[in-house]
Structure 1
């Protein structure tokens, strides 16, 4: 309940329609419907009663071009970069805002002084008058939203509710106000990429001093994207992750990587590495590993990590690179002590 959290962070006991409810100092979380069942929805259009359909944080996600299935996971950004912790976006129509805050004030549990200051601000013209009911369908009340990964009660965006006319920019002193760039960063956190189960040859078990070829087919590895939008503001951004390279970690120091860095670049056709062909057993693979010591009951853990290049495009010809992301998977490799190689 934002009106309370910005005052004392106290718990509030109020009665709505005859039922006593304990309201804690709440935060508008991105994955929850706004308190009172309202908020900005996909259409952004007011009903005759002035209520807007609800959605998460005013942000709508299109995951139709994202990675899918059980073998997908989120990217780990390279460096200390993280998606936005909180942001401001449209939340209430005038009628909906009035219906939400008046019961809080009438409960007289936040203190008469606080309640009076709120009535002055939103009802008595200091600076807003009567919840801006005379401006129905001409704008929205904005509030903060906190990323769902942050703990309850955390809120660095702690400005009071503010009004923004449709088509007008938010106040200049609100740097966290939703923009296409912020949408792009939120979409980054929604991206899911396929697991990096590389094809190995020999598969199952390889041999000491025998090159093991590794590759990823382009049909299994392709760009994915997520689009985030705020329909009420007619803004959107699409964040795209494109596979760029494969990094091999053999799981032991007794191994030689190809190339020596273990970094296998992406090929022109979108694949990584080269599939093994008969007769290539003694050739050097463009992407692979040669183990120099056999396993002794416990397989080596080969980790294959793909680096993804991230770029966004959005409303108003916006766009730029975002930090690379990585996603890896472990594979068990058994190495047998057989010196001879049959061709």
Structure 2
């Protein structure tokens, strides 16, 4: 999947010149006119509508796509970049040639589009220096090394350069929120429970109350942009854990209908075919079969400057449980 930066000016127009923000993060101006900190440009997550509980887990993309392992966002004011780089240059641990190139780029430049004068001090309060961040939990991922572009400047209210696909935009925020989605465990309820019999239809269902849409909102308060990523359950796949079994339906995929995932067994339905379930054809002997139940979640997002939802790859989350299958005991008279 390609990262696409949204070009709509409305996605950036809500950023105020002094960096002030309503909400979780506020950046105010100090007595010298510099902002207190640009690190408030880091991504903030609202997980209040996410799945919860000890058995909740992250969805995994059903395709080869994964959320970004690194991204770019505001990180320094002019004063902060100076305070960060000058001790590095003074230590002379990075080599005289490299230090000179860096000084010419950020301190002594100003003659070309990719060089700056005095860390852009004259633009204090009018923009921020952007640098790379590694997505939490992805530190060891090879993709975390993809963000190698040198620190760059973005004027307040302007979109980041189009040639930097990992620069934080509403779409990148949606992808980062995808990684924060948590959904309930998919351990199914069975009837008979725990132990079933050979050739006996075993009903399977999930507590529909637990399987409602969940969402996470990612935002950069400093920029006034956000995106909400939502996951909705669409189907349950049952894998019996053995080839000696048949599933109901035959595909093993139970579609979610009217908020229900399968149907709870009720007395008097022993001879009926369950809408979702399994029939084991062979005993599990002294052990058990590992039945796996996997929910597929349809994932979509909306964000700043958008009028409609957009799709992200479906996600899946599954869990295994033991099922003991016994032979039917004949009764001798």
8 Å CA contact retained: 2:69, 2:141: no
Q: 1:63 aligns with which of 39, 47, 58?
A: 47
Mapping of residues 121-140 of structure 1, within 5 Å:
121-126=105-110, 127-140=115-128
- Bigger RCO (CA 8 Å, 6+ sep): 2
Q: 1:186 aligns with which of 176, 194, 199?
A: 176
Counterparts of 1:44 and 1:233, CA distance in 2? 11
Structure 2 CA distance for partners of 1:210 and 1:172, relative to 1, 3 Å: closer
8 Å CA contact retained: 1:264, 1:272: yes
Structure 2 CA distance for partners of 1:53 and 1:129, relative to 1, 3 Å: closer
Shift of 1:163: 1.0
Aligned residues: 300
Secondary structure (helix, strand or coil) at the match of 1:316 reads coil
Query: Could you report, residue by residue, the CA deviation over 1:48-77 in whole angstroms, capped at 9, with x for unpaired residues?
Result: 46331645x711111111111211111111
Shift of 1:152: 8.2
Counterparts of 1:54 and 1:236, CA distance in 2? 17
Partner residue in 2 for 1:43: 26
Q: 1:83 aligns with which of 52, 62, 67?
A: 67
Query: Could you report, residue by residue, the CA deviation over 1:146-180 in whole angstroms, capped at 9, with x for unpaired residues?
Result: 33414389522212111111101222332221111
Counterparts of 1:152 and 1:217, CA distance in 2? 36
Mapping of residues 23-38 of structure 1, within 5 Å:
none
Partner residue in 2 for 1:333: 323
Counterparts of 2:324 and 2:277, CA distance in 1? 15
Mapping of residues 1-343 of structure 1, within 5 Å:
42-48=25-31, 50-52=35-37, 54=39, 58-126=42-110, 127-148=115-136, 149-151=138-140, 155-268=145-258, 270-317=259-306, 319-338=309-328
Partner residue in 2 for 1:3: none
Structure 2 CA distance for partners of 1:226 and 1:105, relative to 1, 3 Å: same
Query: Could you report, residue by residue, the CA deviation over 1:181-233 in whole angstroms, capped at 9, with x for unpaired residues?
Result: 11111111111111101111111211121111111122121111111111111
Counterparts of 2:236 and 2:195, CA distance in 1? 21
- Cα RMSD over matched residues? 2.1
Query: Could you report, residue by residue, the CA deviation over 1:69-126 in whole angstroms, capped at 9, with x for unpaired residues?
Result: 2111111111211111322111011111111111111112222222222222212233
Counterparts of 2:267 and 2:304, CA distance in 1? 51
Query: Could you report, residue by residue, the CA deviation over 1:305-326 in whole angstroms, capped at 9, with x for unpaired residues?
Result: 1111111111111631111111
Query: Could you report, residue by residue, the CA deviation over 1:264-314 in whole angstroms, capped at 9, with x for unpaired residues?
Result: 00011x120111111100100000011122221101111111111111111
Structure 2 CA distance for partners of 1:54 and 1:123, relative to 1, 3 Å: closer
Counterparts of 2:87 and 2:247, CA distance in 1? 67
8 Å CA contact retained: 1:213, 1:289: yes
Secondary structure (helix, strand or coil) at the match of 2:209 reads coil
8 Å CA contact retained: 1:42, 1:53: no
Structure 2 CA distance for partners of 1:330 and 1:252, relative to 1, 3 Å: same
Structure 2 unaligned residues grouped into runs of 5+: 1-20
TM-score normalised per structure 1: 0.82
Structure 2 CA distance for partners of 1:213 and 1:54, relative to 1, 3 Å: same
8 Å CA contact retained: 1:181, 1:319: no
Counterparts of 2:159 and 2:27, CA distance in 1? 17
Structure 1 unaligned residues grouped into runs of 5+: 1-39
Counterparts of 1:136 and 1:179, CA distance in 2? 22
Structure 2 CA distance for partners of 1:307 and 1:172, relative to 1, 3 Å: closer
